[in-house]
Amino acid sequence: MMTPTTGETGKMTSFEIGGIKSMLTLVRAMCLAIGVLVFSAPFSASANDVEAGWSAYQKGDFSTALSIWSGLAAQGNDRALFNMGVMHDEGRGVAQDRAKAMEFWRQAAKKGNSQAQHNLGLAHIAGLGVEENPDIAVGYLKQAAITGEIRSQYTLGKMYHYGLGVHKDAEMAFKWIKKAAETGLDRAQYNLGKMYRDGDGTPASATEAAQWFLMSAEQGYAKAQNHIGIRLVRGEGINKDPVRGLMFLILAARQGHNAAQDNVKAAAADLGADDAAKAEKRADEFIPRNSGT
Amino acid sequence: MRRTFANHHWAITMLIVLGLLVHMGIARADTPTSPDAAAAFIETLGNQTLGLLAADGKTLEQKEAEVRAVLADNFALVKIGRFVLGNAWKKASQPEKDEYIRLFSEYVLATYSRRLGGYAGEQFTIAKAEPMGKRDALVTTEIQRPSGPPLVAGWRVRGNGDGKMQILDIIVEGTSMLVTQRNEFASVVKSKGVGGLIEMLRVQLTRFGASAA
Protein backbone atom coordinates (compact mmCIF):
# COMPACT_ATOMS: atom_id res chain seq x y z
CA MET A 1 0.00 0.00 0.00
CA MET A 2 1.33 3.43 -0.81
CA THR A 3 1.93 5.76 2.11
CA PRO A 4 1.93 9.42 1.34
CA THR A 5 5.24 11.08 2.22
CA THR A 6 4.98 13.97 4.63
CA GLY A 7 7.06 17.01 5.44
CA GLU A 8 8.93 17.72 8.70
CA THR A 9 5.81 18.99 10.54
CA GLY A 10 3.92 15.76 9.92
CA LYS A 11 1.58 17.73 7.74
CA MET A 12 1.74 17.45 4.06
CA THR A 13 3.05 20.52 2.35
CA SER A 14 1.05 22.01 -0.46
CA PHE A 15 3.77 20.79 -2.77
CA GLU A 16 3.31 17.24 -1.43
CA ILE A 17 -0.49 17.48 -1.60
CA GLY A 18 -0.19 18.73 -5.15
CA GLY A 19 2.15 15.81 -5.92
CA ILE A 20 -0.30 13.25 -4.54
CA LYS A 21 -3.16 14.87 -6.44
CA SER A 22 -1.09 14.73 -9.58
CA MET A 23 -0.26 11.11 -8.92
CA LEU A 24 -3.92 10.24 -8.29
CA THR A 25 -4.89 12.05 -11.46
CA LEU A 26 -2.20 10.14 -13.31
CA VAL A 27 -3.37 6.82 -11.84
CA ARG A 28 -6.99 7.63 -12.74
CA ALA A 29 -5.96 8.60 -16.25
CA MET A 30 -3.98 5.37 -16.62
CA CYS A 31 -6.91 3.30 -15.34
CA LEU A 32 -9.22 5.12 -17.72
CA ALA A 33 -6.82 4.61 -20.62
CA ILE A 34 -6.46 0.90 -19.82
CA GLY A 35 -10.25 0.63 -19.51
CA VAL A 36 -10.77 2.33 -22.82
CA LEU A 37 -8.19 0.09 -24.46
CA VAL A 38 -9.64 -3.08 -22.90
CA PHE A 39 -13.24 -2.30 -23.70
CA SER A 40 -12.78 -0.74 -27.12
CA ALA A 41 -10.20 -3.21 -28.40
CA PRO A 42 -12.64 -5.65 -30.04
CA PHE A 43 -14.52 -2.80 -31.76
CA SER A 44 -11.54 -0.88 -33.08
CA ALA A 45 -9.79 -4.07 -34.18
CA SER A 46 -12.96 -5.06 -35.98
CA ALA A 47 -13.23 -1.70 -37.70
CA ASN A 48 -9.57 -1.92 -38.70
CA ASP A 49 -10.15 -5.36 -40.15
CA VAL A 50 -13.13 -4.16 -42.16
CA GLU A 51 -10.82 -1.42 -43.46
CA ALA A 52 -8.11 -3.98 -44.27
CA GLY A 53 -10.66 -5.99 -46.28
CA TRP A 54 -11.76 -2.80 -48.00
CA SER A 55 -8.19 -1.94 -48.90
CA ALA A 56 -7.70 -5.37 -50.54
CA TYR A 57 -11.07 -5.02 -52.28
CA GLN A 58 -10.05 -1.64 -53.73
CA LYS A 59 -6.97 -3.29 -55.24
CA GLY A 60 -9.15 -5.94 -56.86
CA ASP A 61 -7.69 -8.54 -54.48
CA PHE A 62 -11.04 -10.13 -53.80
CA SER A 63 -9.71 -13.36 -52.30
CA THR A 64 -7.95 -11.44 -49.50
CA ALA A 65 -11.03 -9.27 -48.95
CA LEU A 66 -13.17 -12.41 -48.77
CA SER A 67 -10.85 -14.07 -46.33
CA ILE A 68 -10.81 -11.04 -43.98
CA TRP A 69 -14.53 -10.33 -44.18
CA SER A 70 -15.59 -13.96 -43.82
CA GLY A 71 -13.77 -14.13 -40.47
CA LEU A 72 -15.48 -10.96 -39.29
CA ALA A 73 -18.82 -12.13 -40.63
CA ALA A 74 -18.50 -15.29 -38.54
CA GLN A 75 -18.12 -12.99 -35.51
CA GLY A 76 -21.34 -11.21 -36.49
CA ASN A 77 -19.90 -7.95 -37.86
CA ASP A 78 -22.79 -6.45 -39.86
CA ARG A 79 -20.61 -4.57 -42.39
CA ALA A 80 -18.60 -7.73 -43.12
CA LEU A 81 -21.83 -9.74 -43.46
CA PHE A 82 -23.18 -7.15 -45.88
CA ASN A 83 -19.99 -7.08 -47.95
CA MET A 84 -19.89 -10.89 -48.08
CA GLY A 85 -23.42 -10.74 -49.45
CA VAL A 86 -22.36 -8.29 -52.16
CA MET A 87 -19.40 -10.43 -53.20
CA HIS A 88 -21.60 -13.52 -53.57
CA ASP A 89 -24.33 -11.53 -55.33
CA GLU A 90 -21.91 -10.01 -57.84
CA GLY A 91 -19.62 -13.02 -58.19
CA ARG A 92 -16.53 -11.15 -57.01
CA GLY A 93 -13.70 -13.50 -56.10
CA VAL A 94 -16.22 -16.29 -55.72
CA ALA A 95 -18.77 -18.00 -57.96
CA GLN A 96 -21.99 -15.99 -58.12
CA ASP A 97 -24.39 -17.46 -55.55
CA ARG A 98 -27.41 -15.27 -54.96
CA ALA A 99 -28.99 -17.62 -52.39
CA LYS A 100 -25.85 -17.35 -50.26
CA ALA A 101 -25.81 -13.57 -50.76
CA MET A 102 -29.36 -13.39 -49.39
CA GLU A 103 -28.34 -15.38 -46.32
CA PHE A 104 -25.49 -12.95 -45.54
CA TRP A 105 -27.78 -9.96 -46.10
CA ARG A 106 -30.50 -11.47 -43.87
CA GLN A 107 -28.00 -11.76 -41.04
CA ALA A 108 -26.73 -8.20 -41.61
CA ALA A 109 -30.32 -6.89 -41.87
CA LYS A 110 -31.19 -8.48 -38.50
CA LYS A 111 -28.35 -6.47 -37.02
CA GLY A 112 -29.89 -3.29 -38.42
CA ASN A 113 -27.73 -2.84 -41.54
CA SER A 114 -29.97 -0.63 -43.70
CA GLN A 115 -28.09 -1.32 -46.96
CA ALA A 116 -28.66 -5.06 -46.48
CA GLN A 117 -32.34 -4.33 -45.79
CA HIS A 118 -32.52 -2.30 -49.01
CA ASN A 119 -30.80 -4.94 -51.15
CA LEU A 120 -33.02 -7.68 -49.70
CA GLY A 121 -36.07 -5.58 -50.50
CA LEU A 122 -34.93 -5.25 -54.13
CA ALA A 123 -34.16 -8.97 -54.39
CA HIS A 124 -37.70 -9.77 -53.25
CA ILE A 125 -39.15 -7.37 -55.84
CA ALA A 126 -37.36 -9.14 -58.70
CA GLY A 127 -37.19 -12.66 -57.26
CA LEU A 128 -33.41 -12.76 -57.70
CA GLY A 129 -31.92 -15.48 -55.49
CA VAL A 130 -35.04 -15.45 -53.37
CA GLU A 131 -38.80 -15.82 -53.81
CA GLU A 132 -40.51 -12.89 -55.54
CA ASN A 133 -42.64 -11.41 -52.79
CA PRO A 134 -43.55 -7.70 -52.77
CA ASP A 135 -44.96 -7.93 -49.22
CA ILE A 136 -41.58 -9.03 -47.82
CA ALA A 137 -39.88 -6.45 -50.05
CA VAL A 138 -41.96 -3.64 -48.55
CA GLY A 139 -41.16 -4.87 -45.03
CA TYR A 140 -37.41 -4.57 -45.65
CA LEU A 141 -37.71 -1.27 -47.52
CA LYS A 142 -39.74 0.25 -44.66
CA GLN A 143 -37.07 -0.78 -42.13
CA ALA A 144 -34.37 0.93 -44.20
CA ALA A 145 -36.48 3.96 -45.20
CA ILE A 146 -37.35 4.75 -41.58
CA THR A 147 -33.65 4.88 -40.69
CA GLY A 148 -33.19 7.48 -43.45
CA GLU A 149 -31.87 5.33 -46.33
CA ILE A 150 -32.67 7.59 -49.30
CA ARG A 151 -32.77 4.92 -51.99
CA SER A 152 -35.19 2.89 -49.85
CA GLN A 153 -37.40 5.93 -49.29
CA TYR A 154 -37.60 6.44 -53.05
CA THR A 155 -38.27 2.76 -53.80
CA LEU A 156 -40.90 2.57 -51.06
CA GLY A 157 -42.59 5.59 -52.62
CA LYS A 158 -42.66 3.74 -55.95
CA MET A 159 -44.15 0.66 -54.23
CA TYR A 160 -47.01 2.84 -52.92
CA HIS A 161 -47.32 4.42 -56.38
CA TYR A 162 -47.78 1.02 -58.08
CA GLY A 163 -49.57 -0.69 -55.18
CA LEU A 164 -46.89 -3.39 -54.92
CA GLY A 165 -46.85 -5.15 -51.54
CA VAL A 166 -49.01 -2.31 -50.16
CA HIS A 167 -52.35 -0.74 -51.08
CA LYS A 168 -51.92 1.83 -53.82
CA ASP A 169 -51.69 5.15 -51.99
CA ALA A 170 -50.76 8.32 -53.89
CA GLU A 171 -50.28 10.38 -50.73
CA MET A 172 -47.90 7.85 -49.17
CA ALA A 173 -46.05 7.65 -52.49
CA PHE A 174 -45.73 11.44 -52.47
CA LYS A 175 -44.57 11.45 -48.82
CA TRP A 176 -41.71 8.99 -49.36
CA ILE A 177 -40.59 10.30 -52.74
CA LYS A 178 -40.55 13.83 -51.29
CA LYS A 179 -38.30 12.70 -48.43
CA ALA A 180 -35.81 11.24 -50.93
CA ALA A 181 -36.09 14.31 -53.19
CA GLU A 182 -35.41 16.71 -50.34
CA THR A 183 -32.20 14.84 -49.54
CA GLY A 184 -31.14 15.29 -53.16
CA LEU A 185 -31.85 12.05 -55.07
CA ASP A 186 -32.13 13.16 -58.71
CA ARG A 187 -34.69 10.47 -59.71
CA ALA A 188 -36.86 11.34 -56.74
CA GLN A 189 -36.72 15.04 -57.62
CA TYR A 190 -37.76 14.22 -61.18
CA ASN A 191 -40.63 12.02 -59.97
CA LEU A 192 -41.74 14.66 -57.49
CA GLY A 193 -41.84 17.15 -60.38
CA LYS A 194 -44.16 14.80 -62.25
CA MET A 195 -46.38 14.38 -59.16
CA TYR A 196 -46.74 18.16 -58.82
CA ARG A 197 -47.38 18.44 -62.55
CA ASP A 198 -50.13 15.80 -62.46
CA GLY A 199 -51.57 16.56 -59.01
CA ASP A 200 -50.66 13.00 -58.00
CA GLY A 201 -50.80 12.63 -54.20
CA THR A 202 -50.59 16.42 -53.86
CA PRO A 203 -52.39 19.45 -55.32
CA ALA A 204 -51.08 20.25 -58.82
CA SER A 205 -48.57 23.09 -59.04
CA ALA A 206 -46.75 24.11 -62.21
CA THR A 207 -44.29 26.19 -60.16
CA GLU A 208 -43.39 23.35 -57.79
CA ALA A 209 -43.14 20.95 -60.75
CA ALA A 210 -40.69 23.26 -62.51
CA GLN A 211 -38.58 23.75 -59.37
CA TRP A 212 -38.16 20.01 -58.79
CA PHE A 213 -37.45 19.32 -62.49
CA LEU A 214 -34.83 22.06 -62.34
CA MET A 215 -33.10 20.60 -59.26
CA SER A 216 -32.95 17.17 -60.88
CA ALA A 217 -31.81 18.63 -64.22
CA GLU A 218 -28.99 20.53 -62.52
CA GLN A 219 -27.71 17.18 -61.25
CA GLY A 220 -27.62 15.93 -64.84
CA TYR A 221 -30.76 13.77 -64.95
CA ALA A 222 -31.65 13.59 -68.65
CA LYS A 223 -35.44 13.21 -68.36
CA ALA A 224 -35.65 16.18 -66.01
CA GLN A 225 -33.44 18.21 -68.36
CA ASN A 226 -35.92 17.57 -71.17
CA HIS A 227 -38.89 18.60 -68.98
CA ILE A 228 -37.31 21.77 -67.60
CA GLY A 229 -35.90 22.63 -71.03
CA ILE A 230 -39.42 22.76 -72.49
CA ARG A 231 -40.73 24.76 -69.49
CA LEU A 232 -37.94 27.33 -69.73
CA VAL A 233 -38.53 27.73 -73.45
CA ARG A 234 -42.27 28.24 -72.88
CA GLY A 235 -42.13 29.98 -69.49
CA GLU A 236 -44.30 27.31 -67.84
CA GLY A 237 -44.15 27.46 -64.03
CA ILE A 238 -40.81 29.25 -64.28
CA ASN A 239 -39.57 32.51 -65.82
CA LYS A 240 -39.04 32.21 -69.56
CA ASP A 241 -35.39 31.72 -70.51
CA PRO A 242 -35.20 30.06 -73.94
CA VAL A 243 -31.39 29.97 -74.11
CA ARG A 244 -31.14 28.14 -70.78
CA GLY A 245 -34.06 25.96 -71.86
CA LEU A 246 -32.25 24.98 -75.05
CA MET A 247 -29.10 24.30 -73.03
CA PHE A 248 -30.97 21.72 -70.93
CA LEU A 249 -32.54 20.17 -74.05
CA ILE A 250 -29.07 19.86 -75.63
CA LEU A 251 -27.74 18.22 -72.47
CA ALA A 252 -30.60 15.70 -72.44
CA ALA A 253 -30.15 15.00 -76.17
CA ARG A 254 -26.42 14.39 -75.65
CA GLN A 255 -27.34 11.67 -73.16
CA GLY A 256 -29.38 9.93 -75.85
CA HIS A 257 -32.85 11.22 -74.87
CA ASN A 258 -34.75 10.84 -78.14
CA ALA A 259 -37.61 13.28 -77.47
CA ALA A 260 -35.04 15.89 -76.40
CA GLN A 261 -33.28 15.49 -79.76
CA ASP A 262 -36.51 16.51 -81.53
CA ASN A 263 -37.11 19.31 -79.01
CA VAL A 264 -33.61 20.68 -79.63
CA LYS A 265 -34.34 21.05 -83.35
CA ALA A 266 -37.63 22.85 -82.71
CA ALA A 267 -36.26 25.15 -80.00
CA ALA A 268 -33.09 26.00 -81.96
CA ALA A 269 -35.15 26.87 -85.06
CA ASP A 270 -37.30 29.27 -82.99
CA LEU A 271 -34.33 30.89 -81.27
CA GLY A 272 -32.10 31.72 -84.21
CA ALA A 273 -28.44 30.97 -84.79
CA ASP A 274 -26.87 33.37 -82.24
CA ASP A 275 -28.94 32.25 -79.27
CA ALA A 276 -28.65 28.61 -80.31
CA ALA A 277 -24.86 28.97 -80.33
CA LYS A 278 -25.00 30.55 -76.84
CA ALA A 279 -27.05 27.59 -75.59
CA GLU A 280 -24.57 25.14 -77.14
CA LYS A 281 -21.67 26.92 -75.43
CA ARG A 282 -23.46 26.87 -72.07
CA ALA A 283 -24.13 23.15 -72.53
CA ASP A 284 -20.39 22.61 -73.16
CA GLU A 285 -19.57 24.43 -69.92
CA PHE A 286 -22.30 22.76 -67.84
CA ILE A 287 -21.08 20.99 -64.70
CA PRO A 288 -23.67 18.80 -62.95
CA ARG A 289 -24.30 19.64 -59.32
CA ASN A 290 -23.47 16.68 -57.13
CA SER A 291 -25.80 16.09 -54.21
CA GLY A 292 -23.66 13.22 -52.91
CA THR A 293 -26.53 10.72 -53.00
CA MET B 1 -14.04 -38.04 -69.84
CA ARG B 2 -14.67 -34.78 -67.97
CA ARG B 3 -13.08 -32.79 -70.78
CA THR B 4 -15.25 -34.57 -73.33
CA PHE B 5 -18.33 -33.65 -71.34
CA ALA B 6 -17.17 -30.01 -71.07
CA ASN B 7 -16.57 -29.84 -74.82
CA HIS B 8 -19.93 -31.43 -75.48
CA HIS B 9 -21.61 -28.93 -73.16
CA TRP B 10 -19.80 -26.07 -74.89
CA ALA B 11 -20.88 -27.28 -78.32
CA ILE B 12 -24.52 -27.58 -77.25
CA THR B 13 -24.46 -24.06 -75.82
CA MET B 14 -22.99 -22.73 -79.05
CA LEU B 15 -25.73 -24.43 -81.06
CA ILE B 16 -28.47 -23.05 -78.82
CA VAL B 17 -27.01 -19.53 -79.00
CA LEU B 18 -26.61 -19.75 -82.75
CA GLY B 19 -30.15 -21.08 -83.17
CA LEU B 20 -31.59 -18.24 -81.05
CA LEU B 21 -29.55 -15.63 -82.88
CA VAL B 22 -30.75 -16.90 -86.24
CA HIS B 23 -34.31 -16.98 -84.93
CA MET B 24 -34.02 -13.36 -83.75
CA GLY B 25 -32.56 -12.23 -87.04
CA ILE B 26 -29.25 -11.23 -85.42
CA ALA B 27 -27.22 -13.79 -87.33
CA ARG B 28 -27.60 -13.07 -91.02
CA ALA B 29 -25.58 -14.13 -94.00
CA ASP B 30 -23.35 -11.11 -94.62
CA THR B 31 -19.68 -10.18 -94.71
CA PRO B 32 -17.91 -12.74 -92.49
CA THR B 33 -15.78 -11.41 -89.64
CA SER B 34 -12.11 -12.33 -89.89
CA PRO B 35 -11.14 -14.47 -86.85
CA ASP B 36 -7.64 -12.95 -86.85
CA ALA B 37 -9.00 -9.40 -86.85
CA ALA B 38 -11.46 -10.35 -84.11
CA ALA B 39 -8.60 -11.82 -82.04
CA ALA B 40 -6.59 -8.62 -82.45
CA PHE B 41 -9.64 -6.57 -81.42
CA ILE B 42 -10.18 -8.65 -78.25
CA GLU B 43 -6.45 -8.56 -77.42
CA THR B 44 -6.36 -4.75 -77.66
CA LEU B 45 -9.56 -4.40 -75.66
CA GLY B 46 -8.38 -6.87 -73.00
CA ASN B 47 -5.05 -5.12 -72.56
CA GLN B 48 -6.75 -1.74 -72.37
CA THR B 49 -9.21 -3.00 -69.74
CA LEU B 50 -6.64 -4.78 -67.58
CA GLY B 51 -4.38 -1.71 -67.86
CA LEU B 52 -7.17 0.51 -66.51
CA LEU B 53 -7.80 -1.88 -63.63
CA ALA B 54 -4.12 -2.03 -62.72
CA ALA B 55 -3.75 1.79 -62.51
CA ASP B 56 -2.68 3.17 -59.13
CA GLY B 57 -4.27 6.00 -57.19
CA LYS B 58 -7.88 5.35 -58.13
CA THR B 59 -10.72 3.67 -56.29
CA LEU B 60 -12.09 0.43 -57.67
CA GLU B 61 -15.34 2.29 -58.39
CA GLN B 62 -13.46 4.85 -60.52
CA LYS B 63 -11.56 2.12 -62.36
CA GLU B 64 -14.72 0.15 -63.04
CA ALA B 65 -16.40 3.33 -64.32
CA GLU B 66 -13.55 3.67 -66.85
CA VAL B 67 -13.93 0.01 -67.84
CA ARG B 68 -17.69 0.59 -68.28
CA ALA B 69 -16.97 3.42 -70.72
CA VAL B 70 -14.59 1.20 -72.75
CA LEU B 71 -17.08 -1.68 -72.80
CA ALA B 72 -19.91 0.70 -73.81
CA ASP B 73 -17.98 1.57 -76.97
CA ASN B 74 -17.29 -2.03 -77.82
CA PHE B 75 -20.47 -3.93 -76.92
CA ALA B 76 -23.34 -4.13 -79.45
CA LEU B 77 -25.70 -3.03 -76.68
CA VAL B 78 -28.76 -2.28 -78.81
CA LYS B 79 -28.53 -5.62 -80.63
CA ILE B 80 -27.97 -7.49 -77.36
CA GLY B 81 -30.83 -5.64 -75.66
CA ARG B 82 -33.23 -6.42 -78.52
CA PHE B 83 -32.30 -10.08 -78.47
CA VAL B 84 -32.69 -10.34 -74.70
CA LEU B 85 -36.16 -8.77 -74.82
CA GLY B 86 -37.28 -11.30 -77.43
CA ASN B 87 -40.66 -10.86 -79.11
CA ALA B 88 -41.69 -8.20 -76.60
CA TRP B 89 -39.38 -5.78 -78.45
CA LYS B 90 -41.83 -5.53 -81.35
CA LYS B 91 -44.74 -4.70 -79.04
CA ALA B 92 -42.87 -2.03 -77.04
CA SER B 93 -43.46 1.69 -77.74
CA GLN B 94 -40.51 3.83 -78.89
CA PRO B 95 -40.09 5.58 -75.48
CA GLU B 96 -40.18 2.13 -73.82
CA LYS B 97 -37.51 0.84 -76.22
CA ASP B 98 -35.32 3.89 -75.54
CA GLU B 99 -35.64 3.61 -71.77
CA TYR B 100 -35.17 -0.16 -71.80
CA ILE B 101 -31.98 0.08 -73.90
CA ARG B 102 -30.62 2.83 -71.64
CA LEU B 103 -31.26 0.86 -68.45
CA PHE B 104 -30.29 -2.51 -69.90
CA SER B 105 -26.97 -1.08 -71.10
CA GLU B 106 -26.28 0.35 -67.65
CA TYR B 107 -27.19 -3.01 -66.05
CA VAL B 108 -25.04 -5.12 -68.38
CA LEU B 109 -22.06 -2.77 -68.25
CA ALA B 110 -22.19 -2.61 -64.45
CA THR B 111 -22.39 -6.41 -64.26
CA TYR B 112 -19.42 -7.04 -66.55
CA SER B 113 -17.20 -4.26 -65.32
CA ARG B 114 -17.67 -5.68 -61.80
CA ARG B 115 -16.82 -9.17 -63.00
CA LEU B 116 -13.63 -7.84 -64.56
CA GLY B 117 -12.76 -5.82 -61.45
CA GLY B 118 -10.94 -8.76 -59.90
CA TYR B 119 -8.52 -9.28 -62.79
CA ALA B 120 -6.21 -6.33 -62.20
CA GLY B 121 -2.65 -7.41 -62.94
CA GLU B 122 -3.71 -10.73 -64.46
CA GLN B 123 -2.39 -11.94 -67.80
CA PHE B 124 -4.67 -13.25 -70.46
CA THR B 125 -3.90 -15.06 -73.67
CA ILE B 126 -5.82 -15.65 -76.86
CA ALA B 127 -6.30 -19.42 -77.04
CA LYS B 128 -8.00 -19.53 -80.42
CA ALA B 129 -10.17 -17.62 -82.86
CA GLU B 130 -12.58 -19.27 -85.28
CA PRO B 131 -15.57 -18.42 -87.45
CA MET B 132 -18.95 -18.60 -85.75
CA GLY B 133 -22.08 -18.80 -87.86
CA LYS B 134 -21.88 -17.09 -91.22
CA ARG B 135 -20.94 -13.64 -90.04
CA ASP B 136 -19.21 -13.70 -86.66
CA ALA B 137 -15.99 -14.89 -85.05
CA LEU B 138 -15.54 -16.56 -81.67
CA VAL B 139 -12.39 -15.58 -79.81
CA THR B 140 -11.45 -17.78 -76.86
CA THR B 141 -9.34 -16.20 -74.10
CA GLU B 142 -7.71 -17.73 -71.05
CA ILE B 143 -6.80 -16.04 -67.79
CA GLN B 144 -4.34 -18.01 -65.68
CA ARG B 145 -5.28 -18.15 -62.00
CA PRO B 146 -2.97 -18.88 -59.05
CA SER B 147 -5.00 -21.96 -58.18
CA GLY B 148 -7.40 -24.04 -60.19
CA PRO B 149 -7.87 -24.21 -63.94
CA PRO B 150 -7.59 -21.08 -66.10
CA LEU B 151 -10.74 -19.00 -66.64
CA VAL B 152 -11.86 -19.61 -70.20
CA ALA B 153 -14.15 -17.09 -71.90
CA GLY B 154 -15.53 -16.97 -75.44
CA TRP B 155 -16.17 -13.59 -77.09
CA ARG B 156 -18.55 -13.49 -80.03
CA VAL B 157 -17.42 -10.64 -82.25
CA ARG B 158 -18.96 -9.08 -85.33
CA GLY B 159 -17.26 -6.71 -87.75
CA ASN B 160 -19.42 -4.26 -89.66
CA GLY B 161 -17.28 -4.43 -92.78
CA ASP B 162 -15.46 -1.09 -92.36
CA GLY B 163 -13.14 -2.23 -89.58
CA LYS B 164 -15.40 -1.49 -86.60
CA MET B 165 -15.95 -4.54 -84.40
CA GLN B 166 -18.35 -5.15 -81.55
CA ILE B 167 -18.96 -7.87 -78.97
CA LEU B 168 -22.29 -9.66 -79.31
CA ASP B 169 -22.00 -12.21 -76.53
CA ILE B 170 -19.69 -13.57 -73.82
CA ILE B 171 -19.67 -17.26 -73.06
CA VAL B 172 -18.11 -18.21 -69.73
CA GLU B 173 -17.82 -21.88 -68.83
CA GLY B 174 -20.44 -22.86 -71.35
CA THR B 175 -22.94 -20.17 -70.29
CA SER B 176 -23.96 -17.49 -72.75
CA MET B 177 -24.60 -13.98 -71.41
CA LEU B 178 -27.37 -13.52 -73.98
CA VAL B 179 -29.22 -16.67 -73.02
CA THR B 180 -28.77 -16.14 -69.27
CA GLN B 181 -30.03 -12.57 -69.43
CA ARG B 182 -32.91 -13.53 -71.69
CA ASN B 183 -34.02 -16.28 -69.29
CA GLU B 184 -33.69 -13.93 -66.32
CA PHE B 185 -35.93 -11.30 -67.91
CA ALA B 186 -38.44 -13.60 -69.63
CA SER B 187 -40.61 -14.24 -66.56
CA VAL B 188 -40.69 -10.53 -65.65
CA VAL B 189 -41.74 -9.58 -69.19
CA LYS B 190 -44.35 -12.35 -69.19
CA SER B 191 -45.97 -11.28 -65.92
CA LYS B 192 -45.42 -7.51 -65.93
CA GLY B 193 -44.69 -6.55 -69.54
CA VAL B 194 -41.87 -4.32 -70.81
CA GLY B 195 -42.96 -1.54 -68.42
CA GLY B 196 -42.51 -3.91 -65.49
CA LEU B 197 -39.06 -4.94 -66.73
CA ILE B 198 -38.04 -1.28 -67.10
CA GLU B 199 -39.14 -0.58 -63.54
CA MET B 200 -37.35 -3.71 -62.31
CA LEU B 201 -34.10 -2.65 -64.01
CA ARG B 202 -34.44 0.88 -62.64
CA VAL B 203 -34.91 -0.44 -59.12
CA GLN B 204 -32.11 -3.03 -59.36
CA LEU B 205 -29.66 -0.31 -60.34
CA THR B 206 -30.11 1.25 -56.87
CA ARG B 207 -28.48 -1.73 -55.13
CA PHE B 208 -25.73 -0.95 -52.71
CA GLY B 209 -22.25 -2.32 -53.35
CA ALA B 210 -19.56 -3.21 -50.82
CA SER B 211 -18.22 -0.42 -48.62
CA ALA B 212 -15.91 0.22 -45.70
CA ALA B 213 -18.57 1.66 -43.39
With cut-offs at 50, 70 and 90, classify the pLDDT of residue A37. very low
Nearest to A55 by CA among B212, B54, B64, B50: B212
Dist CA B173 CA B157 (whole Å): 18
Dist CA A177 CA A179 (whole Å): 5
**Could you give phi then psi for residue B131, rounded to 5 degrees?**
-65, 150
Q: What is the pLDDT of residues A151-167, one digit of tens each?
A: 999 999 999 999 999 99
Q: Which of residues 53-92 of B touch A (CB under 8 A)?
A: 53, 59-60, 63
The DSSP symbol for B129 reads E
Mean pLDDT over residues A53-67, rounded?
91
Task: Spell out which chain A residues touch chain B, with contact meaning CB-CB distance below 8 angstroms.
Answer: 47, 50-51, 54, 57-62, 65, 79, 82-83, 86-87, 89-93, 115, 118-119, 122, 125-128, 151, 154-155, 158, 162, 187, 256-259
For chain B, give the percent of residues with pLDDT over 70: 83
Q: Residue A34 has what pLDDT?
A: 46
Per-position DSSP letters for B43-106, written without gaps between them: HHHHHHHHHHHH-SSS-HHHHHHHHHHHHHHHB-HHHHHHHHHTTHHHHS-HHHHHHHHHHHHH
Q: How many CB pairs under 8 A join A and B?
A: 85
Cα-Cα-Cα-Cα torsion A106, A110, A114, A115, nearest 10 degrees, comes to -20
Handedness of CA A148, A151, A157, A162 (dihedral sign): negative
pLDDT tens per residue, chain B (213 residues)?
344 444 556 566 665 665 665 555 554 446 899 999 999 999 999 999 988 888 888 888 899 999 999 999 999 999 999 999 999 999 999 889 989 999 999 998 988 888 777 776 678 899 999 999 999 999 999 987 766 678 889 999 999 877 799 999 999 878 898 898 898 888 889 888 999 899 889 989 999 999 988
Question: Is some CB atom of chain A closer than 8 A to the CB atom of B120?
Answer: yes
Between the CA of residue A32 and those of A21, A40, A43, A187, A207, what are the distances in Å?
A: 16, 12, 17, 49, 59
The answer to whether residue A105 scores a pLDDT higher than 50 is: yes
Nearest to B189 by CA among B113, B87, B61, B42: B87
Q: Is A221 strand, coil or helix?
A: coil
The answer to whether residue A120 scores a pLDDT higher than 70 is: yes
Q: Which of residues 129-148 of B touch A (CB under 8 A)?
A: none
Neighbour tally for B134: CB within 10 Å: 14
With contact defined as beta carbons under 8 Å apart, do B34 and B159 qualify? yes
Q: Best interface-test mutation with B: which of A118, A122, A124 has the largest number of B CBs within 10 A?
A: A122
Question: According to the 3-state scheme, what is the secondary structure of A108-174?
Answer: HHHCCCHHHHHHHHHHHHHCCCCCCCHHHHHHHHHHHHHCCCHHHHHHHHHHHHHCCCCCCCHHHHH
CB-CB under 8 Å, A256 with B102: yes
- Which of B102, B204, B208 faces A126 most closely, judged by CB atoms? B204
The answer to whether residue A85 scores a pLDDT higher than 80 is: yes
Report angle CA A43, A140, B205 to the nearest 5 degrees: 90
- Average pLDDT score over chain A: 87
Report chain B residues whose CB lies below 8 A from the CB of A115: 208, 211
Q: Which of residues 142-181 of B touch A (CB under 8 A)?
A: none
Q: How far from chain centre, in Å, is Cα A139?
A: 19
**B141 pairs with which residues across the strands?**
B126, B153
Distance to chain A for B52, nearest Cα, Å: 12
With contact defined as beta carbons under 8 Å apart, do A229 and A252 qualify? yes
With cut-offs at 50, 70 and 90, classify the pLDDT of residue A23. low
Q: How many residues does chain B have?
A: 213
Q: What is the ipTM of this complex?
A: 0.77
The answer to whether residue A57 scores a pLDDT higher than 80 is: yes
Q: Residue B151 has what pLDDT?
A: 82
CB-CB under 8 Å, B209 with A86: yes
Report chain A residues whose CB lies below 8 A from the CB of B203: 122, 125-126, 155, 158
